[in-house]
Structure 1
Amino acid sequence: MSAERLTLFEYLNEYNPVRYEAVDADNTVVDSMTAPELREQSLRLAAALREVAEPGDRVVIPPLSGLDFERAFFACVAAGMIAVPLPKMPSVASNKLRRVESILADCDARVIVSPPDEVALVAERTGVRALDPAVARQPAGDDGPGPAEPVARDPHDIVLLQYTSGSTGDPKGVEISQANLVINQREMGSRCDVTASTDIVAWLPSYHDMGLCSMVIQPVVTGARVVKIHTTDFIRRPLLWLEAISGRGEVWSAAPDFAYRTCLQALERAESFDADLSGWRTAGNASEPVRESTMVAFEKAMAPYGFRSTAFRPGYGLAESTVCVAVNAPVQARTVLSVDLAQLAQGVVVPVEPASGRAPLVGCGRPIDDSDVVILALDDAVVLGEDRVGELAVAGRSNARGYWKKPEVSEATFGTRIDGRSYLRTGDIAFLHDGEVFICDRLKDLIIAGGENYFPSDLEADVTARVAELDGTTVAVFQDAGGDVVFAFEAASSASAGDLEALIKSVVRAAAQTYPGRLRGVALRRGLIPKTTSGKVQRTRCRDLLATGSITPLHTWPERG
């Protein structure tokens, strides 16, 4: 692939059938544009950027109304600047404000593309200048900078800083180039059979790697139409997502596991609901642990509306490899694997017959063509064979260059050399089975007891499957400083002490069927188990908050002696 084919603006031409549409909470189109319109409008905004910043400068883009995020992102590309997508800017002093200030200082941001009144506090405290995205939508001939040709830059230069949503520590901005974005999304589009006849329906946050790629990059490199729902509209009314899919002939739409569960809960509360989901050909499931129970329940509930039992397509990815590492083609059914957990704790995968009350592992697909995935031993760079558990590592042109201004961390993460090739160590414990990726857990969350490895996600899934009261509840398993494994879960604060103790005892007894060591159950008020901005449970932070007394349990059993 030539360098010219790796630049995003090459795709914004009159021959590209892509169409971007944004819908409101009533599923009415409120903003739209074609590739030539996006080109012209983003170039106009790029000219305004160049009046206040220089090529290579960092430009913060929070979520914006309509399609202004898309205009702002391509304006950064055209201006030769580096886009930094972030969540909504806080308007009051808070922990969120401190994190934003930390990121803006880390990347030395120059501009925030946002209506100035929406970022007044952040601009005042950081000195970063606000630029109204409305400049892009000014009709030709109005006052203000006119379109200019894009700044010529090497497609391998950084165009995006994707800040990871870690729980603690310094923020880390993943350095992603135009070449990374184009290669990764062309590979994913080819694997998932996304074409100009596909409708991509998306509500994911623009500051999340899967949201940015599915709503901004995937459409332009495949020619597909994107139908964008604002994330807050999905949160307020989850069934809007399904309504936006309804009646379309060929749909690709992806979301984390929790989104499908949220739709099921909304369907139970709905007085009425009607949709035609027969055109939803690919339902991606990624970004957090994939649960077979969720997919089975969703298939059953949505079958009357035409949802196909073959639609679910679990996948695996991470920002450090742009977004997509593995996913299966539409013709391949998902793989569900039951394994011997005692053998798994010793690092060996032994398939067994499915057991009642035991949550199976779900395959996350085969690596896309440009990504080479291997499993490494946890303590060195020795490559393990299939059905051996270790750390997942990936090589390929989707891999980012490193972390912004963090050479030592970058070398540790991206610098493993195997047969002369650089591999990214993902920090995910996984194995390959028949060439497919299976994720066990995060390396940092690994529980070690008696020299064996246990995975929090296995405990969480198994106990949730055995204790019906935990269905749909946020849970977190971790090992505390004393060596106990703690099963924390959220419960209604109105529950009686007796009911809570009975539930905790059921939880601990269920966990003891999988984990042989000391166990403790902790009930917390709803909303107290911390999550990342993308909805992933932060087990380590939950452990730390409990240890410092920053969160108070409703009930604990057994009490520590």
Structure 2
Amino acid sequence: MNASLLTTMVERLDVAPRTPLYSFLDRHGKEVDSADCEEIVRRAAGTAEFLRTAGVGPGDPVLLIFPPDGLEFVASFFGCMLVGAIAVPVASPDPRYLDRELPKLRHVVEDSGARVALTHAKYRALTRLASVANRVRGRGNPGWPELSWLLANRIKRAGATVAAAALARAANTFGPDDIVYLQYTSGSTSAPKGVVVRHRNLVHNLELIARNTRVDDTSVLVGWVPLFHDMGLAGGILNAMYTGARCVAFSPMTFLAAPRLWLEAIDRYRGTHIAGPNFGYDYVLRGADRDDGTLDLSSLRATLQGGEPMLPATMDRVEAELTRMRFDPASFCNVYGMAEAVLFVCGQVGRKPTLLRADRAVLDRDGVIAPPAPDAPVVTLVGSGVPDAELGVTVIAVDPVTRRPRPPGAVGELWVSSPSVSSGYWGRTDEENAAVFAARPATREDDGRRFLRTGDLGVVSDDGEVFICGRLKDLIIIGGRNIHPQDLEAAVVAADPILRPGNAVAFGVRVDGVERVMVAAEVRRKHLQSREPIPFDRAVSAIRAAVAAHCGVQCHEVLLMKPDSLPKTTSGKLRRGECRQRWADGSLRSSALSGQQRTPATVESIGDAEQSAEYVLRLLQTEVAAMLQSTGPDDVPVDLPLRDLGLDSLGLMDLARRIEDRTGARVPPASVGDGSTLRAVATSVVREFALAPSAPGEAAGLVTSESNAGDVPFSAGQTVALQRGQWDWWNRAVMLDVRRRLAPEQLRRAASALVARHEALRLRFRRADDRFVQRYGDIEGSFAVESVTVHGSDALLPLLNEQHRRLSVENGPVLRLLLVETGSGQRLFITVNHLVMDGITLGILVDDLDRLCQPEEHGLPRTSARFEEFSRWMNDFGNADATADLDFWREQLAVPPPAAYDSRAHPDIMMKDLAFARQHLGPDETRALRTVRMGGPGGSRAPIATTLLAALLRTAQRRWRCGRLVIELFSSGRQTAVHGLDLSRTVGDMHCTFPLAFEDSASQSPEETVTAVAERLTRVPSAGMSFDALTLLADDPNVRNRLLNAPAPTLGFNFQGEAPTQSAGGLFSLRESPLGDLWDPEGRVRQPPLYLECSIVGGTTRIGWEYLPQQLNWSGAEIDEWKATFADELAGLVHRATHR
């Protein structure tokens, strides 16, 4: 064997440079891309040089994100190998489902430490569009990890001679112990971990595959398994390069859409080797059903099954269905492997899998293989071949507790010793890796071998053949018996014809301290599309009977699911651990088609319905249905004594608690006595409401408008917002954790008092005679409160989007509160239209709502000036005193824009054209920012906002190579010294913007720039408010034009301050909202084409970049360069502050 795959590539290039290696097919089976060894090496050499130019060197992790699979992935992988970088193949997040997909990518990025990603332009464009669409739909920024994206389609292939030389250099430079790639595990039982694959592991495993599956340069590998998966990568792409076989591949999405294509490709290319998991063979038979007998599969020498235990029934079906296509059943080969050993452990082509029949009762009770007794239940295990001892592979079964080897025929955890086994998981400690990858069995003699603990349960027979039983963590233990979920799942899908083969999951759950069996099974899609009623009850009964007959236990619960709703790994394995977790948090049950006996229908908040006995009665029926695990509220009688409903004394206490939680009413104990009826309890609840205070605002010391008649003038911030168009779409959202339980009625009363307290929340906006007007509306129509019960984020997001859509600035409400009951507690979602709030407003609302929800409301702070007072002052200011600042603002705008930017005044920006990027400074970096001082070592500490602005100024002047520069800044508008108003507790949109010119910082030290910026800010007249007053609110058009006709600033900066992590009274804590801001994509805004927004949350600094690539003449990578320079400038400031 060669020392590295690079050496093999050198040999392959020398011996067979033009022999086809790779072919990729589209969804129609057409070959859309192909390459021989020379072409791949030329592309790889070009990629290596591209990466080297981008600063990537040996040992640097590089993500490979390529949907669909193709030659760009192959060239990128080998390009990483040539430069010595560590390839990190990952599944590409589907832009349509970023909320679900991005956490997986973020995990890999954080775990691997990758800072660079290779992809192609089409996918990168889709991610950008999806990010904009997410914000438009109200989901906020989807949270792409911080990566430098490099586009593979921009890479030029190297010349043949140059490429050959580059390959030779790499083969001489990198050896057996160098890392080739990180293979992230599928995560079927835990979070994915990066397996370190070195050249020596890889070469050994490829040799193992070649010997045991008989792959050589005459072979043709045909497959659909994704290339980021170990089976597609090592078993396909790298296998072809090592052996000289031809690899024909297509996308797994194509396979799902047209499974027959797999059979057609075998026929057309005379495929010799195919591989896939058990479910893949089940699925391909759908295409075989329509075969007309013209396909010829006689070329197949190896039909490999791996990735999950093979089912004998699948083997029988494949043999029966494909024999007419001249398929040879002798080609079947069940293989065993895992990513921790690169891919392959054992399995032999030419040795038909051994079927081992065992007595199920003995296996479950004693953990040993025994011949089945007459009429005893039987389990059939499929053999995975004998490990190749000549290549140093050993597999033993070990007691996972005592660590002693089990005798032949006894079940134990499978331990593997092989040169293919990795040294460990990336980023884990030596001790953590040694526990998994270097285990030693408890034997008297230590022969020095170290074993990989696989976590798989299996048996090693007398002749050394390996049989897989299941996963150690997946065992269901009931009454001391070990029940293997795979056996139950096979029985489940055979129980009723409406169930999808291979798409049922069984797992153990703890109920009242006892292990019970839980089953979820998917229904075939055709039954959901049929007009005939679906026999759910029949299927559930059949499943229960099948499980009872199979292992003698009863199911705790059976759920029937929609197709493709059960969680699976990227390779299609069922994730039993995640299913168990989703069952525990309720999200699995909430997405079920039937079997939801434990989840009664959700009723709307009592705050949104008339307080009638009928409504409350319905609510109580729902609660009792939940307690009794009934099928629904309609089954609960309302005139029977509660004791006759089956509620004991503890149940009655629970009902009283539920009533208070749901309604806020404290019902006398006698009202829920066992002789009471639900109708009587409902009457008590309504009586409690009738006695409640009807005017909560009186106790809150509310301040109302002296006159709510007539039009209210617009502030500058509102005027800018109205320019966006479709202003109903521009909202702000926040998610809060509720730390003490709230009843919906309690929240409704507090919200009513909140709106009465802050008159801006009662504003309505209309067009009248080609102009906008705003007037006050009534309190009740200005807000809405709802409560819902949900299970899982998938059920939550549609509700949150709906909150955005149901705001109306014309008719109300402009404020919506959604109280969400989850399995882990309550959350409060607040949505407000931006026309009635600014960045400071949200904190005021949350603090006041906290206090208004308390039993005693006397703790409310006094109110400050009204929003209307501010807006009237600002309009008057724009037509009088602000004109004194006109020359100052003209001087700021006289500075020409950077030469790198189009000097024409930029037009209004369409929201859909904006692009976004994020940066993050952790707690240590944020604390370091506070150490920067102005005026030298003895000076005062600079505000963080000043430090960030100074770093941005130095960044821009470096990047644009310019001198003086104008930056658009933000003012809160709340500076009392300017207008004499106390606006510290005022709700409304009062923010302003203004341009400010800064001198060239090239000759300044970092501290000098901070000092200069701080001094410049102190010389801004009227705290910057006069600029917007003149350009937006002045009646004289000549005044506006003298400022607006000048080139607008190219760069903007806004520091939003430090956001508290919890409300003043501790009732609410801040949670990252899944929605954030929402705007109309067709709306327009006048802002600089490059804009930086910063805030501090929870001791960390969040930095957001918004930019317009077309206006900046940016092609893609520039934003990453700006972010890097900005980080360098901040680091320089901090370094100077801490190393004086």
Deviations 1:438-473 (A, max 9, x none): 111111111112222111112222344455554625
Quote how far apart the aligned CAs of 1:135 are.
4.6
CA distance 1:462–1:361, change in 2 (3 Å): farther
Corresponding residue SS for 1:527 = coil
Quote how far apart the aligned CAs of 1:299 are.
1.2
The separation in 2 between residues aligned to 1:38 and 1:173, in whole angstroms, is 26
Where do residues 396-475 of structure 1 align in structure 2 (5 Å cutoff)? 396-407=418-429, 408-418=431-441, 419=446, 420-433=448-461, 434-465=463-494, 467-470=496-499, 472=501, 474-475=503-504
Aligned position for 2:192:
171
Aligned position for 2:413:
391
1:84 aligns with 2:104: no
Corresponding residue SS for 1:280 = coil
Deviations 1:460-494 (A, max 9, x none): 22344455554625100111121211122122567
Aligned position for 2:285:
264
1:499 aligns with 2:538: no
In the alignment, is the contact (CA less than 8 A) between 2:204 and 2:420 conserved in 1? yes
Quick one: which amino acid aligns to residue 433 of structure 2?
S
Deviations 1:510-531 (A, max 9, x none): 1112323342332223222111
Quote how far apart the aligned CAs of 1:136 are.
5.0
Residue 584 of structure 2 is aligned with which of 536, 543, 547? 547
RMSD, aligned α-carbons: 2.8
1:485 aligns with 2:517: yes
36-45 or 515-524, which moves further after superposition?
A: 515-524
In the alignment, is the contact (CA less than 8 A) between 1:337 and 1:351 conserved in 2? no
Corresponding residue SS for 1:344 = helix
Corresponding residue SS for 1:484 = strand
The separation in 2 between residues aligned to 1:311 and 1:90, in whole angstroms, is 36
Aligned position for 1:3:
3
In the alignment, is the contact (CA less than 8 A) between 2:62 and 2:118 conserved in 1? yes
Quick one: which amino acid aligns to residue 454 of structure 1?
I
The separation in 2 between residues aligned to 1:138 and 1:96, in whole angstroms, is 32
Residue 231 of structure 1 is aligned with which of 244, 252, 257? 252
Quote how far apart the aligned CAs of 1:226 are.
1.2
Aligned position for 2:77:
73
Quick one: which amino acid aligns to residue 148 of structure 1?
A
1:55 aligns with 2:58: yes
Percentage of matched positions with identical amino acids: 32
Residue 148 of structure 1 is aligned with which of 160, 163, 166? 166
Aligned position for 1:302:
322
The separation in 2 between residues aligned to 1:265 and 1:354, in whole angstroms, is 36
The separation in 2 between residues aligned to 1:546 and 1:514, in whole angstroms, is 23
CA distance 1:178–1:292, change in 2 (3 Å): same
CA distance 1:116–1:135, change in 2 (3 Å): closer
The separation in 2 between residues aligned to 1:20 and 1:426, in whole angstroms, is 33
Residue 134 of structure 1 is aligned with which of 150, 153, 157? 153
In the alignment, is the contact (CA less than 8 A) between 1:7 and 1:182 conserved in 2? no
The separation in 1 between residues aligned to 2:7 and 2:375, in whole angstroms, is 50
The separation in 2 between residues aligned to 1:229 and 1:137, in whole angstroms, is 24
CA distance 1:474–1:21, change in 2 (3 Å): same
Whichever structure has more helix as a proportion of its residues is 2
Quick one: which amino acid aligns to residue 241 of structure 2?
V
The separation in 1 between residues aligned to 2:500 and 2:331, in whole angstroms, is 23
Corresponding residue SS for 1:284 = strand
Aligned position for 2:261:
240
CA distance 1:538–1:405, change in 2 (3 Å): same
The separation in 2 between residues aligned to 1:428 and 1:494, in whole angstroms, is 39
The separation in 1 between residues aligned to 2:374 and 2:357, in whole angstroms, is 5
The separation in 2 between residues aligned to 1:29 and 1:104, in whole angstroms, is 33
Quote how far apart the aligned CAs of 1:498 are.
8.4
Residue 157 of structure 1 is aligned with which of 154, 157, 178? 178
CA distance 1:90–1:558, change in 2 (3 Å): closer
CA distance 1:357–1:339, change in 2 (3 Å): closer
Quote how far apart the aligned CAs of 1:90 are.
3.8
The separation in 2 between residues aligned to 1:467 and 1:356, in whole angstroms, is 23
126-135 or 445-454, which moves further after superposition?
A: 126-135
In the alignment, is the contact (CA less than 8 A) between 2:188 and 2:576 conserved in 1? no
Aligned position for 2:362:
343
Corresponding residue SS for 1:276 = coil
Aligned position for 1:29:
31
In the alignment, is the contact (CA less than 8 A) between 2:398 and 2:405 conserved in 1? yes
CA distance 1:464–1:11, change in 2 (3 Å): farther
Quote how far apart the aligned CAs of 1:534 are.
0.9
The separation in 2 between residues aligned to 1:117 and 1:390, in whole angstroms, is 49
CA distance 1:459–1:355, change in 2 (3 Å): farther
In the alignment, is the contact (CA less than 8 A) between 1:163 and 1:172 conserved in 2? yes
The separation in 2 between residues aligned to 1:145 and 1:110, in whole angstroms, is 26
Corresponding residue SS for 1:325 = coil
Quote how far apart the aligned CAs of 1:145 are.
11
The separation in 1 between residues aligned to 2:190 and 2:486, in whole angstroms, is 23
Aligned position for 2:334:
314
The separation in 1 between residues aligned to 2:398 and 2:456, in whole angstroms, is 11
Aligned position for 2:386:
366
The separation in 1 between residues aligned to 2:21 and 2:533, in whole angstroms, is 56
In the alignment, is the contact (CA less than 8 A) between 2:413 and 2:457 conserved in 1? yes
Quote how far apart the aligned CAs of 1:272 are.
5.1
In the alignment, is the contact (CA less than 8 A) between 1:338 and 1:353 conserved in 2? no
For normalisation by structure 1, the TM-score amounts to: 0.92
Aligned position for 2:901:
none
The separation in 2 between residues aligned to 1:355 and 1:28, in whole angstroms, is 53
CA distance 1:108–1:286, change in 2 (3 Å): same
The separation in 1 between residues aligned to 2:150 and 2:32, in whole angstroms, is 22
Quick one: which amino acid aligns to residue 511 of structure 1?
V
The separation in 2 between residues aligned to 1:217 and 1:5, in whole angstroms, is 9
Aligned position for 1:100:
105
Quote how far apart the aligned CAs of 1:405 are.
0.6
1:514 aligns with 2:532: no
Quick one: which amino acid aligns to residue 145 of structure 2?
T
In the alignment, is the contact (CA less than 8 A) between 1:357 and 1:466 conserved in 2? no
The separation in 2 between residues aligned to 1:494 and 1:353, in whole angstroms, is 45
Quote how far apart the aligned CAs of 1:172 are.
0.9
547-556 or 173-182, which moves further after superposition?
A: 547-556
Q: Which has the larger radius of gyration?
A: 2
Segments of structure 2 that go 5 or more residues without pairing to the other structure are 132-142, 599-627, 630-1140
Quote how far apart the aligned CAs of 1:387 are.
0.3
The number of residues matched between the two structures is 557
The separation in 2 between residues aligned to 1:292 and 1:33, in whole angstroms, is 38
The separation in 1 between residues aligned to 2:79 and 2:282, in whole angstroms, is 36
Segments of structure 1 that go 5 or more residues without pairing to the other structure are none
144-153 or 380-389, which moves further after superposition?
A: 144-153
CA distance 1:518–1:274, change in 2 (3 Å): same
